């Protein structure tokens, strides 16, 4: 697991480490690692460091010192380094080191500074570090905006300026980096949108902090972590031991959700999928997935799930509508004594009747920001701006496991670190992919995983499958548009890579 920490946790760990080291040691370690990454990027892009044009954006704090010392190391290798001094003060020792190495400095003026950003081969963002919060003030805001337009490689120091390192919030202009070089440990914002999208590729430089770090606030599972959790059949397995998942989804209006959620469960390795809905969705599921056991539900009378057969977990909601019949179905499923995943229309039903979530068995909900908005009574824009805050609040307030979908998916459960899933691709932003995800997670729930683990594994595998589908199954190739059913069909290959 990659682990991420809040600014306070990082500062406490740094203080403990620095107590046993000569002054300035940590900054030199950080600057050395930063310079190595910058040199590698310049060599990759231009074939050499010597003669490359590097613009260092320098703020008032230690973050600016890191950037100046790294600039000095690049200048000693022949780079033409200019530091734009944008803060009310400058790290004096770093400034002296840069000048001694042959680097230049200029005080901020808009025309000259923006010209240096636009003409550089590499821009090093050392404006604001982990202590920054709220919108950037001038001239930092102007310089941050300029990083979006420069053809240069943009490298952020620790976190992109304008991104709150503890929450991922972006409240105004912010640097958009190609690479962020972070020191000692990952910062929470590097895993949580909207900040994570500003970070680009993240490089971690070890400065010796790990022995002093507490329990993390956010973790990001890697392939190996997910592989270790996934249910696997043994020689003694049969379809019942592998897990039977029941799916109540679809309607005569929304038939596709039925086919997609069932397909996600089938392709994710459920031992058996039992599907129940009205006649038309059942017909289509039978045609596309003949291995699924189907039941036509009569919603004109009191709903009973007895005829469907026993399951180890339920999925309820995709495409089933939000009327009285849907409410009756959701109530019947949530009355069961097995884990239940609630998605899509099911979330609208429980938003109108949150008492349905008061149950003893585990519950997993899988909203996007709009659906979570209805559950919490909070504007969607506020949730999108503060995703970490609201996924935690939902888990605590609703007493469930929450998978908040997005470009970085977050999974929250009370008393556990939030898990951030970063395997996705923007091509997942298409109709029906969430239905496939619900089927995958339902299969993992039925296979015996907890809601927290099932959600994490499902989102991770879902993202991998989307990448496989977008690349046409060819590793390293470019990505192309995909449909939701492509994601379901790519699941076996994604699981094989794990």
Q: Which residues are annotated as a binding site for K(+)?
A: 63, 125, 161
Please identify which residue in the block is written with the tokens 């740094």.
14
Question: CA 7 to CA 232: how far, in whole Å?
Answer: 39
In this structure, the number of other CB atoms found within 10 A of the CB of residue 336 comes to 17
C-alpha pair distances (Å), 23 with each of 29, 35, 201, 301: 12, 20, 30, 77
Tokens at 192, concatenated: 């949580």
Task: Find out whether 443 and 245 touch, Cβ atoms under 8 Å.
Answer: yes
Q: What DSSP designation does 476 have? A: T
Binding residues for (6S)-NADPHX: 62-66, 129-135, 140, 158, 257, 319, 368, 435
Binding residues for AMP: 405-409, 434
Q: Which residues contact 443 (CB under 8 A, 6 or more apart)?
A: 243, 245, 264, 265, 268, 269, 270, 273
Tokens at 346, concatenated: 């099911």
Q: How many CA atoms lie within 13 A of 294 on its CB side?
A: 22
Binding residues: 62-66, 125, 129-135, 140, 158, 161, 257, 319, 368, 405-409, 434-435
Tokens at 199, concatenated: 């970070």
CA-based radius of gyration for the chain:
26
Question: 452-480: string of b/e by CB count within 10 Å (b at 16+)?
Answer: bbbbbbbbbbbbbbbbbbbbeeeeeeeee
Q: Which residues contact 82 (CB under 8 A, 6 or more apart)?
A: 53, 54, 55, 56, 103, 104, 105, 106, 116
Where do runs of H (alpha helix) occur along 47-109? 62-76, 92-100
């Amino acid at each position: 697991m990659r682990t991420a920490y809040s600014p306070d946790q990082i500062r406490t760990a740094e203080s403990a480490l620095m107590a046993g080291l000569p002054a300035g040691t940590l900054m030199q370690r950080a600057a050395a690692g930063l310079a190595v990454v910058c040199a590698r990027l310049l060599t990759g892009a231009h074939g050499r460091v010597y003669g490359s044009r590097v613009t260092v954006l320098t703020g008032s704090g230690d973050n600016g010192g890191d950037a100046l010392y790294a600039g000095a190391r690049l200048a000693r290798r022949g780079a033409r380094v200019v530091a734009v001094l944008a803060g009310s003060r400058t790290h004096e020792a770093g400034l002296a080191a840069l000048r001694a190495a042959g680097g230049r400095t200029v005080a901020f003026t808009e025309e000259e500074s923006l010209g240096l950003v636009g003409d550089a081969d590499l821009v090093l963002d050392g404006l604001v570090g982990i202590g920054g919060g709220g919108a950037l003030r001038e001239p930092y805001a102007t310089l941050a905006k300029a990083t979006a337009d420069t053809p240069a490689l943009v490298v952020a120091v620790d976190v992109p300026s304008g991104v709150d390192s503890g929450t991922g919030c972006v409240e105004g202009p912010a640097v958009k980096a190609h690479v962020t070089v972070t020191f000692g440990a990952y910062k929470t914002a590097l895993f949580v949108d909207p900040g994570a999208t500003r970070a680009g590729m993240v490089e971690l430089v070890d400065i010796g902090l790990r022995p002093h770090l507490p329990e993390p606030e956010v973790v990001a599972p890697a392939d190996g972590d997910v592989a270790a959790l996934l249910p696997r059949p043994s020689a003694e397995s049969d379809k019942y031991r592998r897990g039977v998942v029941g799916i109540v989804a679809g309607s005569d209006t929304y038939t596709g959700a039925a086919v997609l959620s069932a397909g996600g469960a089938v392709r994710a390795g459920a031992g058996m999928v039992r599907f129940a809905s009205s006649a038309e969705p059942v017909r289509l599921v039978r045609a596309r997935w003949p291995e699924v056991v189907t039941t036509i539900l009569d919603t004109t009378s009191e709903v009973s799930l007895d005829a469907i057969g026993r399951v180890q977990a339920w999925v309820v909601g995709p495409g089933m509508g939000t009327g009285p019949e849907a409410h009756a179905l959701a109530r019947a499923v949530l009355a069961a004594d097995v884990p239940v995943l609630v998605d899509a229309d099911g979330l609208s039903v429980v938003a109108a009747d949150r008492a349905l979530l008061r149950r003893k068995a585990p519950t997993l909900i899988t909203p996007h920001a709009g659906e979570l908005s209805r559950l919490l009574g909070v504007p969607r824009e506020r949730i999108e701006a503060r995703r970490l805050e609201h996924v935690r609040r939902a888990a605590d307030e609703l007493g469930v496991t929450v998978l908040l979908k997005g470009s970085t998916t977050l999974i929250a459960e009370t008393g556990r670190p939030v898990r951030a899933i970063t395997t996705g691709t923007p091509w997942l932003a298409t109709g029906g992919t969430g239905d496939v995800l619900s089927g995958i997670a339902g299969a993992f729930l039925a296979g015996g995983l907890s809601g927290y683990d099932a959600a994490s594994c499902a989102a991770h595998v879902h993202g991998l499958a989307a990448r496989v589908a977008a690349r046409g199954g060819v590793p390293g190739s470019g990505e192309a548009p995909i449909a939701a059913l492509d994601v379901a069909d790519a699941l076996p290959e994604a699981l094989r890579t794990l």
